[in-house]
Each structure stands twice: as structure tokens, then as C-alpha cells.
Amino acid sequence: MKQGIVGSSINRVGGLARVLGTQMYVADVKLPNMLHAKLVHLDCAHARVRSIDCREALKVEGVRAVLSAADLPRPIPRFGPTYQDRPILAEETTLFHGEPVAIVAAESEHAAEVAASRVKVDYQELPAICMVTQALDPSAELVQDPAIRGQGPFKNTNILDEWSFGWGDVENCRADTVIENTYTFPIVTQFAIEPFTFLAEPTADGITVYSAIQIPYGLQRILAAVLNLPLSRVRIIAPDPGGAFGGKQHPKLEPLLAYFALRLGRPLRLELTLAESFQQARRAAAEVRVRSGFNSDGTLVFQDIESNYLIGAYADIAARVVSKASYVAAGPYRVPNVRILARALLSHTPPSTAFRGFGAPQENWAVESQLDAAAKKLRLDRVDIRRKNLPGPGEVFMPHDPPADGDWAECLEKAAEAVGWGQPLPEGRGRGIAMGLKAGPTTAASYTIVRLHLDGSATLYSGTSDMGQGARTVFSQIVAEELGVALEQIAVVMGDTSVVPFDLQTSASRSTVVMGNAIIKACGDIKRQMAELAAECYGVAVDRIRVAPGMVHLPEGDHSFVEVLQDRFGRVKGEVIGVGSARNEYVKEHPLGGPPAFYEVVAIAAEVEVDRETGETEILKLIVAGDVGRAINPQAVSMQDEGAAVQGLGHSLMEQYILDAAGRIRNLGALDYRIPTTKDVPRELRSIHIENADGPGPYGAKGVAEGGILATAPAIGGAVEEAIGVRIRDLPLTPERIWTALNRPPLPD
């Protein structure tokens, strides 16, 4: 790259405001005449509401109104990104711990809080379905009313949907060794440091909603439907989220808040507590039963995978999570015969939503652990058994999908080398290694506008959400590279549907690739226009003009962009507007709606030390080797890998929702839901970038940012097994669980 911009670790754009404390998050937005809201919810998962008495609440000084289902039209408005199943307020029954039954609006947050505590709800607690076995039981009560389930074979069950994928003939193929195990993955939550906060502002002809939503246009569409407003009158302002990890992709309480705000005619703000935030976003728990067949040389013969995901009371995006993750569940390997069955199961737990990895960590936990089990049984090295089965670049490994798009063996080798694979280990220590695979985006629609101003500076408009991954930075680098504009002269505008053009979503590690490609096109559009402007201005034929970043080359000499703009526009002035888009269309015949634009593949290696007497585990080394294509900003890639790996460390060692038998979450909040602190992270945490410029994005880039969490659990699980000699198949690997496995081993099958 001529400029040396791409491939440079320039400082985070937007970083300065963040270190100064001037960055505006949604909770920092204050509007005049603002009211404050507080939710009323029950301390149980499943309940029948008999009555709601708001009289005492309404007497609290400063309270303006209380809204409950009784005040809503029938049928109660429902919403959701795929299934419109979630009511804006619970009607007669609550289906999860934290589902709101009423909402209070008051002049102050304190008054709203006091009033909410005085709303008297008379309810009857009902049994809750919060385990896979319960949800699968055909005689179990139905979580959702069949009346809202539409048509379909699962209407009268707790199965939202079921998917079957595969190829070959699992039933009739022959394998020297067959291993079967069941693995479990707990409910965990994103725990972004920014709790959910929303603000709805009625306007003269519509509404403006502030939300740190990753998908502003998705929220716009859903609000327009719920409120019966045209898209053009629904404005979403989406400040950069204070962490999201997928949990802020889809609407949660915005529809309720917007509805209430319109009724009140005043701006209405709702800030959830951290505990309430835990009740709004989490990852689906899963039980994955895998039967794997191997030849005695370690090559895979078949994978037979049955996955049951406990998705919660409403669908949110769970159907997509389960189908997309299970589709590639067999992993980045050559497997002649595959049978996959996956189910999304409704339950009386908070609706699961997108969370970094999108179902893949659950599958990889199971399938990679199986490879370790096979290696043990066949007396093979765990790196060797993987190497044997990895496809080479360009090799088809899933019969109807794009071939392997990277050198995945290189990821494996580099991770193994970095962790010191094969070197002697002292007693009590172990190493593990695992591959992770996730399918990239299938459909896409990203539009962007770039404006080149008279002084040569540029403004970029993009609907991507910069939630910490550094989208503003990467996009600035692309504009700088393509147009030769200095980085300090680039402004990036995001997060306002009335200003930035349409973007389908920020998810699936897509933005560098999809929006990046759109930006390249927009810059190309500008360069084309610069050639035309120069032709007009200097009287030269367009085909004799060559445009380079920042410079127009004519036969008789060069002119900078600024010169051309000034010479052409003169005193009447003007600007150049470039438009670009990138789309991947929906493919009906494909089970996922389209082939993935790229695969996100990673090798993760870990070295741990376990205290056998207490079960305490220390992670000494954690290595992430990702097939990134091209690291446009190497530091940003490392930042994402490290953060994802530590988040994976969390669900590997310490994170889980603890539910009681009635579905109540007992460890809401920071005190008893433990995430890694500075003292829990590995002494050595490394991100290795495998760059072969073989991605579909700008300069050969692929998507990154989810890699580090895809296979952390099996890598750590394998390391723990080597350290203690016992394999544990349930997460998290808490000290207590490890101790129990060593001292109270389960009865043999």
C-alpha cells in the first residue's frame, strides 16, 4: 500500500473523547422536559397476573402515569426481528424473570423508582420450563400460546423450529472408532459495562428514539410497525454503544417506551439497572450430543450432531442463531458424512439474543472436545489429529458451500508453536488447542456516502455501529488510503437514520468487509467524478486522466484534489459526493439464505495450571491465531482477539446464570455473576494474525472480532484435562466443578 495507512495501527478514532470523558453515550443524553421511567416486573419467571393496582403508585409526588396491559389496545402490539411474538408489555401472564407488567413515568428517576415499588401486582406463580428436558417433554405446558405460533408442525410444542442439515450417509458408513458424548453450555450474558438505556422523544410528526442499538434501521422498521408510522417519520439516533457484543442488536424495550412517550407527549427516558440488563440479553444455553466416527489413523468418518438450544420465552433472533451455528457445526474439517439436527426450544427464561459467536461457541465446545476424546482414544497428538482433517485453501469441505477460504493449517501451526506445544510440562499443568469456525454474513446491504469537501477533507456516512471494535477507525483508514485524505481530515458520521444511509446490520463480523467494500466503491465514485471535473476544467479528454489518491495526473502535469476542486468550482463552490453500496442477495435455495461471504476461522491454544486440591485454575497462556485475510489496523485486530478471548475465558471458567427451580435468576448483577478481572486474565495473551490477503473485503480482509471466543472453551477444557487427567463436559469449569470431577467422578455409563 502506497500510503502505509492500511496495515498501520493508528490510534482509535473517537478515542480522544473517550479518554477525556466527553464521549456521549445514550445515558448521557438529556432532553428538556424529560420524564423518567421505571419498569415493574415480578420476582418470578412464570406467573399469571390477576390484577395490577396503581393507586398508591399514582399518589407519589412527581408521578405522571402508570401504563399496564389494561391501557393497551387489543391485540397487544407484538414485535421481534423475525417472529413478532414479544408483547410490549406482558398481558395476562409473564413468561420470564424480568418481563415487565407495567411501566411508571415520573418527573424524576427517584420518584419513578418509589412509585414502581408501590405498584401492587396480584399474581400467581406458575411452574417454569427452564431445562432442555422440560422443553422437549411433549406433555409439558406450552410456553407460548399456540394462537401466536402461526402454522407449522411445531405449533403445539415448545420447539420454535428444528433444522436438519448434512451430507453423506451417517447411518451406513463404517468407522473404526465411535465416540459419543453430551456437552452443555450455560446461559451467560453479554455484561456490557453500559447498561441498557433508552430515550423516546415524540416529535411534531413522529418520534425520535435514542438507543445504543447495533442495528438502527432494524429498530426503525420495528418501531414504525408497532407505532403505525411511516419509516420517514421514525428517527433512530444510535450513539456508539458502551459495549454490545450482539446484545444490543435487536429491540428490547424501545417499542414500549416509544408507545408510552407518544401517549404522554413528552420525552421519556428509561435506564435499566445492571440486573435488569441481564434480564434483557443473554446467550442461548445448549446441550449438544455428538457421536463421532474416526478411522484409526484419526481421519474423520462421520459427525452426528444433535443440538438443543434453550432460547427463552420469545424468539428474538434465536432461530437464526441455531440454524446458522448448527449448519457449520461439523467444524473446519473434511468430514465425509454429516448429520445435524438442531432445535430452538422455548423456555421460561429471558429471551436469548445475538452474542459474539452466534451459537458457534456452543457447537465448537462440543465438537472440538470430541476431537480431543478421539485423539486420546487413538493415541494421537491433538494437533496432529486436527491437521489431518483440515482442508487446504480452496478445498471444498461442505459440499454445497464455498470452499475453505484460507490457510487454516497455518492458524493451527502458529497457535501450537506460540503455546509451546510438545515442550515438557511440569506437574499440574496442561495445554489444549482447538479450532473454531463460524459462517460469515450471508445476506448484506450496506450503503455509504462520502463527501469530499473543498479543502480536501472528507466526511463519511455509515450506518455501522462502532461499539468498540473500531469501525470508525478502519473506515477512516480506507478513505485515507483510497482518496489520499489525511486521517485528521476525515470525519465519520454514524448512528442517525435521518442522516446516514441504510445499513442492514452490524453483526457477523461483517462491517470491515461489507461496509468496507461499499466505502471503496464510494471512493471510486469520487475518483471517477474527479476525473470528469478535471476533464471539464483543464480541457483534457477523460481517458487521458489518471486519478490517484489525492492527486489527478494529466499528461501535462499533476493537480491535487484541492486544486481541481477550487479550479473547477471557483467562487460558486461545491463538493463531490460519492455513493457506494455492497449487497449480497437472498438465495432462497440455500438453507441459510445465501452462502457465507467468508468463514471466520481461528485456532486457540491454552496453557493452564490447576490446583488439584481446590480445583482453582490459572490460565498461563492464551493464544488466538485468526485467519484475518488482511489486518487493516493490526492493533485493532489484536484488541478484538484479546477481548474476545477473555470473554471466552469467562464462560469457560466462571460465568453462568444460576436459576432456581421456578426459573428465577439468582445471580443477577455484578456481585454474583462473575466476569474476569485484571487478576483473572492470562499472564500471556497473544493475538496472531494469519494474513494471506485472501478475503473478500478491502485489501483482502476478512471479518474478525468473534474469532477469539469461538474455541476458547475447548482449548481451556483440553488444557485442564491434560493437567488433571479428567475431561469435564459441562461449562463453566469452576473450581468446584473441577474438584468434584476429581473427587466425585460420575458413575461410568
Partner 1 sequence: MKSFEYLRPGNLAEALDLLERFGGGAKPLLGGTDLTVRIQKGQLDPDAVVDLKRVGEIGASIDAEGDTVTVGARVALSDLVRSDLIQTHYPALVEAASIVGSIQIRNRATLVGNICNASPAADTVPPLIAYDASLTLVGLGGGAAATRGTVLRRDIPLEDFFLGPRETVCASSELVVAVHLPLPQQPFGSAFGRLTRRRGVDLAVINMACAIDSSGITTFVFGAAGPTAVVARDESGELARPDLPRSRRDELLQSLVAKTNPISDVRSGEEYRRAMLLTIGGRMLLQAQQRRIARGRGGR
Partner 2 sequence: MSDRTIRISVTVNQQRREVEVEPCETLLEMLRGRLDLTGTKKCCGEGECGACTVIMDGRAVNSCIVLAAEADGSEVLTIEGLAAEGRPNSLQQAFLDSGAVQCGFCTPGMIMAAHYLLLNNPHPTEEEIREGLSGNLCRCTGYGKIVEAVQAAAESAAEPASKNRR
We find the least distance from the C-beta atom of residue 674 to partner 1, in angstroms, to be 5
- Lay out the site mask for partner 2 across 187-206 (x = CB under 8 A, - = otherwise): ---xxxxxx-----------
271 binds partner 2 (CB under 8 A): yes
745 binds partner 1 (CB under 8 A): no
Q: Which does 155 bind (CB under 5 to 8 A by kind): partner 2, partner 1, none?
A: none
| Chain residues 58-77 in contact with partner 2, contact rule CB under 8 A | 61
20 binds partner 2 (CB under 8 A): yes
CA atoms within 13 A on the CB side of 695: 31
Per the CB < 8 A criterion, the answer to whether 432 and 369 are in contact is no
CA dist., res. 446 & res. 581, Å (int): 5
We find the least distance from the C-beta atom of residue 38 to partner 2, in angstroms, to be 14
Q: Which does 27 bind (CB under 5 to 8 A by kind): partner 1, partner 2, none?
A: partner 2
Instruction: Between 456 and 643, name the residue whose CB sits nearer to partner 2.
Output: 643
28 binds partner 2 (CB under 8 A): yes
CA dist., res. 595 & res. 355, Å (int): 21
We find the least distance from the C-beta atom of residue 470 to partner 2, in angstroms, to be 7
410 binds partner 2 (CB under 8 A): no
Q: Which does 22 bind (CB under 5 to 8 A by kind): partner 2, partner 1, none?
A: partner 2
User: Which listed residue (671, 745, 747, 749) binds partner 1 by CB under 8 A?
Assistant: 671
62 binds partner 1 (CB under 8 A): no
| Chain residues 677-696 in contact with partner 2, contact rule CB under 8 A | 677-679, 681, 685
| Chain residues 113-172 in contact with partner 2, contact rule CB under 8 A | none
Distances (CA, A) of 195 to 27, 97, 243, 678: 9, 17, 9, 21
81 binds partner 2 (CB under 8 A): no
Instruction: Between 84 and 635, name the residue whose CB sits nearer to partner 2.
Output: 635
Beta bridge partners of 578: 450
The yes-or-no answer on residue 171 being catalytic is: no
User: Which listed residue (71, 381, 532, 618) binds partner 1 by CB under 8 A?
Assistant: 618
Q: Which does 23 bind (CB under 5 to 8 A by kind): partner 2, partner 1, none?
A: partner 2
CA dist., res. 248 & res. 272, Å (int): 13
Which of helix, strand or coil describes residue 321? helix
CA dist., res. 423 & res. 622, Å (int): 16
Stretch that binds partner 1, among 70-78, 121-129, 587-595, 613-621 (CB under 8 A): 613-621
5 binds partner 2 (CB under 8 A): no
Per the CB < 8 A criterion, the answer to whether 173 and 301 are in contact is yes
Q: Is 618 exposed, middle or buried (0-12, 13-18, 19+ CB in 10 A)?
A: middle
470 binds partner 2 (CB under 8 A): yes
Stretch that binds partner 1, among 319-327, 475-483, 543-551, 735-743 (CB under 8 A): 735-743
245 binds partner 2 (CB under 8 A): yes
CA angle 578, 472, 690 (to 5 degrees): 105
Take residue 69 and report the three cell numbers written for it: 396491559
Which residues have a Cβ under 8 Å from the Cβ of 560 and sit 6 or more positions away?
456, 550, 551, 552
Catalytic: which of 201, 363, 706, 721? 706
Peptide bond into 732 cis (omega under 30): yes
If we measure between CA atoms, which residue out of 550, 535, 544 comes closest to residue 487? Answer: 550
User: CA 134, 138, 143, 149 torsion: positive or negative?
Assistant: positive
We find the least distance from the C-beta atom of residue 628 to partner 1, in angstroms, to be 30
Strands of the sheet containing 337-346, edge to edge, are: 159-167, 337-346, 300-312, 285-294, 177-185
> Within its chain, how far is the Cα of 441 from the centroid?
12
User: Which listed residue (20, 139, 677, 746) binds partner 1 by CB under 8 A?
Assistant: 677
Q: Which does 271 bind (CB under 5 to 8 A by kind): partner 2, partner 1, none?
A: partner 2
* H or E segment and range at residue 500: none
Q: Is 550 exposed, middle or buried (0-12, 13-18, 19+ CB in 10 A)?
A: middle
- Lay out the site mask for partner 1 across 114-143 (x = CB under 8 A, - = otherwise): x--x--------------------------
Query: How many residues make contact with partner 1 (CB under 8 A)?
Result: 28
We find the least distance from the C-beta atom of residue 718 to partner 2, in angstroms, to be 20
User: Which listed residue (53, 71, 107, 113) binds partner 1 by CB under 8 A?
Assistant: 113
Residue 360 carries which side chain, given as an amino acid letter? A
CA dihedral (366, 369, 374, 377) in degrees, to 10, reads: -130
Q: Which does 193 bind (CB under 5 to 8 A by kind): partner 2, partner 1, none?
A: partner 2
* H or E segment and range at residue 411: helix 408-419
Q: Counting every residue, how long is the chain?
A: 749
654 binds partner 2 (CB under 8 A): no
626 binds partner 2 (CB under 8 A): no
CA dist., res. 593 & res. 148, Å (int): 24
Beta bridge partners of 604: 434, 624
Instruction: Between 521 and 621, name the residue whose CB sits nearer to partner 2.
Output: 621
Q: Which does 24 bind (CB under 5 to 8 A by kind): partner 2, partner 1, none?
A: partner 2
CA dist., res. 737 & res. 616, Å (int): 10
Per the CB < 8 A criterion, the answer to whether 207 and 234 are in contact is yes
If we measure between CA atoms, which residue out of 173, 202, 192 comes closest to residue 266? Answer: 202
Phi, psi dihedrals of residue 638, rounded to the nearest 5° = -60, -40
CA dist., res. 276 & res. 270, Å (int): 11
Q: Which does 653 bind (CB under 5 to 8 A by kind): partner 1, partner 2, none?
A: partner 1
User: Which listed residue (257, 494, 530, 645) binds partner 2 by CB under 8 A?
Assistant: 645
Residue 668 carries which side chain, given as an amino acid letter? L
CA dist., res. 685 & res. 678, Å (int): 12
Instruction: Between 113 and 563, name the residue whose CB sits nearer to partner 1.
Output: 113
CA dist., res. 645 & res. 45, Å (int): 32
User: Which listed residue (3, 7, 25, 263) binds partner 2 by CB under 8 A?
Assistant: 25
Q: Which does 244 bind (CB under 5 to 8 A by kind): partner 2, partner 1, none?
A: partner 2
| Chain residues 639-658 in contact with partner 1, contact rule CB under 8 A | 653-654, 658
We find the least distance from the C-beta atom of residue 109 to partner 1, in angstroms, to be 10
We find the least distance from the C-beta atom of residue 683 to partner 1, in angstroms, to be 11
* H or E segment and range at residue 689: strand 684-690
* Segments of 24-119 assigned E as strands: 35-41, 47-53, 63-68, 78-79, 86-87, 93-94, 100-106
We find the least distance from the C-beta atom of residue 117 to partner 1, in angstroms, to be 7
We find the least distance from the C-beta atom of residue 616 to partner 1, in angstroms, to be 8
Per the CB < 8 A criterion, the answer to whether 287 and 308 are in contact is yes
CA dist., res. 631 & res. 307, Å (int): 34
Q: Which does 145 bind (CB under 5 to 8 A by kind): partner 2, partner 1, none?
A: none
We find the least distance from the C-beta atom of residue 675 to partner 1, in angstroms, to be 8
* Segments of 248-336 assigned E as strands: 268-271, 285-294, 300-312
We find the least distance from the C-beta atom of residue 638 to partner 2, in angstroms, to be 7
24 binds partner 2 (CB under 8 A): yes
User: Which listed residue (533, 636, 731, 733) binds partner 2 by CB under 8 A?
Assistant: 636
Query: How many residues make contact with partner 2 (CB under 8 A)?
Result: 58
Per the CB < 8 A criterion, the answer to whether 682 and 619 are in contact is yes
Residues annotated as catalytic (active site), given as ranges = 706
**Contact residues: partner 2, CB under 8 A:** 9, 11-12, 14-25, 27-28, 30, 61, 110, 190-195, 240-245, 271, 273-274, 467-470, 635-636, 638-639, 642-643, 645-647, 669-671, 675-679, 681, 685
**Contact residues: partner 1, CB under 8 A:** 110, 113-114, 117, 613-614, 616, 618, 653-654, 658, 666-667, 671-672, 674, 676-680, 734-736, 739-740, 743-744
